[in-house]
Amino acid sequence: MIKLLWIAFLASLLVRMLAGKWPWELLVLPPRSGGAPSVAEQRARNLLGVAGRASREEIVDAHRRLIGRVHPDRGGSSEAVHEANAARDLLLGRLGERGRES
């Protein structure tokens, strides 16, 4: 049993060195491209109040307006700021993916 664990450990290190990722990270499916937007993307769009084809500038402006309302210095919470930042990052990431597909 110990030999099997050592072989698995060494194989994991080998995959990490060759691929730059751990074996379990390679098993994660890539995000789907095209088709209907994911639930997370739809929630992010609703939170920021932007359309499906919003440009980078529209996303950044909507994020800036939302941060102005939910920032802790203005009576908001840090959780709301984190959620707004995550929504912005998700939409800008998807926007970058869409740009590479075209």
Residue 64: other Cβ atoms inside 10 A? 11
Instruction: Give the pLDDT of residue 102.
Output: 46
- Please tell me the number of Cα atoms within 13 Å of 17 on its side-chain side: 6
- Each residue's pLDDT tens digit, 1-36: 889 999 988 988 888 888 887 777 777 655 555 556
Structure tokens at 10: 């060494």
Domains along the sequence of the chain with CATH: 36-101 (1.10.287.110)
Q: What is the pLDDT of residue 48?
A: 95
pLDDT digits (tens, 9 = 90+) for 30-63: 555 555 678 889 999 999 999 988 999 999 999 9
The token pair at 5 is: 């664990």
Look up residue 12 and give its amino acid.
S
